[in-house]
Amino acid sequence: MTPRNDFLRGARIDPKPITGRETVPELIDNAFLAYNAGRLGEACRLFTERMLADDVTVGMSLTGAMTPAGLGMSTIIPLLEAGFVDWIVSTGANLYHDAHFGLGLSMHRGSPFVDDVELREQGVVRIYDIFFDYEVLLSTDAYIREVSAGAEFQRPMSTAEYHYLLGGYILEREKALGIKRKSLLGVAHDCAVPIYTSSPGDSSIGMNVAEQALAGGQLRFDPSADVNETSAIVFRAKVTGGKSGVLIVGGGSPKNFVLQTEPQIQEVLGISEKGHDYYLQITDARPDTGGLSGATPAEAVSWGKVDPDQLPGTVVCYLDNTVALPLLTAYALARRKPRRLKRLYQLRDEMMRQLTEEYLAAKADRDSRAEAATGGRSA
């Protein structure tokens, strides 16, 4: 039985009165003491004090309409530039809407309490309380098709390679328009942060690439390359003596794609590993309805996604991402110096060689043991 005093070791709840002069970190450390505010405080400290150590490779998953709300510019770009996020798995929609800003197109604050039939008649598109002209979609579609028709795109490639190439073009468009670092895709290109999309057909980017396929275009997204490249990133982090941390913003397919890197290494490739070292999720989903099932830290241990010895290094905040992520970013930037950029995109070939060699060695060992067990007889 746990000794009584062990339950009372936590810091006393005795906050100072708020004055209005507090910085974000001071406010969080002083007043975010319990319930989901307490979890956000724990998340800020986990991210800043442990996950941002120099030897930790941080992967982020991104779902929900975050970039239309401006979070690409306000939070995610600063995290990339500070070296606080090393690789990303995002919905295609977040990247598509991110491109609007890099192309000089505008989105506006609106209201969720409007007549959508009237908006349709006026050619205005609504994402909850975000409004934009329907022409924004058409202009972005045309740009994506124009760029994707280029000779360097006419082949199968991972989504990271596609986003890197597209980001380079958007970066040049920003320079031509005289705007600076508005696009997450452009900054990721500049920082060599690989961005993957777990469901590339499930967005307007994928829709436009599909249209070009009908016209004979040769661009194809290679999901196997995505699975292996993301696993190679995590494997490299571990075998070089470092750690792997995941920052999960929302849920959905990107969440699982970030986490499945460890089962891919262990279960499928047969390489000895133990799971991610740090796990931080911000979500409004619940496990008992199936929306978060299989991906709470404890459940993820049973899949091999999280190292069971590292469960103290896991936090789940049941909060709105548009509230929690800016606070987490402000806390981290105030408390932690920028890290050297890992530029993982430029290491893709090296990481894939490393993973392939380890896989082939593990496979040869399994085959040898299986042959010995059967006395050399074929199954």
pLDDT in tens, 177-204: 999 999 999 999 999 999 999 999 999 9
Catalytic-labelled residue, pool 16, 305, 342, 363: 305
- Copy the structure tokens of residue 237: 């982090």
What pLDDT sits at residue 294?
Answer: 60
Residue 14 lies in a domain: no
Residue 5 lies in a domain: no
Residue 373 lies in a domain: no
**Coil, strand or helix at 353:** helix
What pLDDT sits at residue 377?
Answer: 60
Q: Which of 188, 187, 209 is nearest to 199 (CA)?
A: 209
Domain count, the chain: 1
Span 134-155, average pLDDT: 97
DSSP for residue 47: I
Residue 32 lies in a domain: yes
Q: Which of 213, 205, 200, 292 is nearest to 255 (CA)?
A: 292
Rounded to whole angstroms, the Cα distance separating 285 from 354 reads 36
Rounded to whole angstroms, the Cα distance separating 329 from 75 reads 6
CB neighbours of residue 31 within 10 Å: 15
Rounded to whole angstroms, the Cα distance separating 76 from 310 reads 26
Residue 313 has pLDDT above 90, yes or no: no
Arithmetic mean of pLDDT over the chain: 93
Residue 6 lies in a domain: no
Span 164-185, average pLDDT: 96
What pLDDT sits at residue 289?
Answer: 77
What pLDDT sits at residue 110?
Answer: 96
Q: Is 305 a catalytic residue?
A: yes
Residue 379 has pLDDT above 60, yes or no: no
- Copy the structure tokens of residue 78: 């600063």
Span 130-147, average pLDDT: 97
Residue 62 lies in a domain: yes
Rounded to whole angstroms, the Cα distance separating 378 from 368 reads 12
pLDDT tens-digit series, residues 10-60 = 889 999 999 999 999 999 999 999 999 999 999 999 999 999 999 999 999
What pLDDT sits at residue 378?
Answer: 52
Task: Find the domain containing 55 and state its range.
Answer: 28-367
Residue 335 lies in a domain: yes
Rounded to whole angstroms, the Cα distance separating 351 from 355 reads 6
What pLDDT sits at residue 56?
Answer: 97
Span 228-253, average pLDDT: 95
Residue 22 lies in a domain: no
Span 306-325, average pLDDT: 86
Rounded to whole angstroms, the Cα distance separating 262 from 269 reads 10
- What's the CATH code of the domain at 247? 3.40.910.10
What residues form DSSP beta bridges with 249? Answer: 62, 282
